[in-house]
Amino acid sequence: MRILISNDDGYFSPGIEALAQALRAYGEVTVVAPERDRSGASNSLTLDRPLMLRRAPNGFWFVNGTPSDCVHLAVTGMLDVVPDMVVSGINLGANMGDDTIYSGTVAAAMEGYLLGVPSLAISLVSKNPQSFEAAAAIAAQLVARAQTNPLGRVLLNVNVPDLPLEAIKGIEVTRLGRRHKAEPLIKGTNPRGETVYWIGPAGGAADAGPGTDFHAVEQGYVSVTPLQIDLTDYEGIDALRAWLA
């Protein structure tokens, strides 16, 4: 297989190093990642300035852009052959529920999907993640399964509990849960006396019952959620037509 790896934490992240190490057993691995942490970048593409591609001493490529830029650049111009799979991660923290809208990790995988490549995003659910090897092993299992039994063009969002591999109970297919609304802005003052603001933390889990990604991870299972791009509210179409009539 030809596997393209990216992330949103930057090419220096321990998660992407562990992922690359694990997936080299399954084919030719190319890493193209942002030059710095771009968490929360979502699906943004850089259109107002040129992108530059550089190579780090460890062989990884890095780009002065977003996660979506990295995958777009690699698939549409850098690589001689379209990869067989895009794998994004291992993210330093969860990407469950509403997180997927903002996540640069998910966005990198989504860019691969939009370009016709089967893609998955993998995240390690912890504020201080430790079990990178376990998450990498889970990613390797999924890539191996895709190699022997292709799913076709898919976009999978994978969240792994921060546990040793032997303590993970299994893999569950889930739907996205929902979070409470975000916490308030954090207001502060910089050294010049100017008022500054930090975006508040994400809200806690609201819809987290059985069948959700939140519930699976809480119970010690890997959560795998198939995602789609169509945001149309089909149930609202008739109501909107009536409102406009």
Tell me, what's the pLDDT at 126? 93
What pLDDT, on the 0 to 100 scale, is given for residue 200?
A: 82
Confidence of residue 206 (pLDDT cuts 50, 70, 90): confident
Query: How much is the pLDDT for 203?
Result: 80
Residue 123 is predicted with a pLDDT of 97
Average pLDDT in the chain: 94
| CA distance from start to end of the chain | 53
Query: DSSP state, 9?
Result: S
pLDDT at residue number 144: 95
> Going edge to edge, which strands form the sheet with 2-6?
53-55, 61-63, 28-34, 2-6, 85-92, 119-125, 155-161, 221-226, 170-173
The pLDDT of residue 74 is 97
Would you state the pLDDT for residue 152? Answer: 86
pLDDT tens for each residue of 100-144:
999 999 999 999 999 999 999 999 999 899 999 999 999 999 999
Q: Are strands 178-179 and 205-207 parallel, antiparallel or unpaired?
A: antiparallel
pLDDT digits (tens, 9 = 90+) for 1-41: 999 999 999 999 999 999 999 999 999 999 999 999 999 89
Could you give the angle at which helices 132-148 and 14-23 cross, rounded to 10 degrees?
A: 40
The 10 Å Cβ neighbour count of residue 242 is 8
- What pLDDT score was predicted for residue 4? 98
pLDDT of residue 185: 87
Whether 150 shows a pLDDT value over 90: the answer reads no
DSSP class per residue in 167-182: G--EEEE-B--EEPPP
Q: What is the predicted pLDDT for the residue at 207?
A: 81
pLDDT category of residue 192 using cuts at 50, 70 and 90? very high
Average pLDDT on 209-223 reads 96
Q: For the segment 64-96, what is each residue's pLDDT rounded down to a tens digit?
A: 999 999 999 999 999 999 999 999 999 999 999
- Enter the pTM of the model: 0.92
Q: Length of the chain, please? A: 245
Q: What was the pLDDT predicted at 140?
A: 97
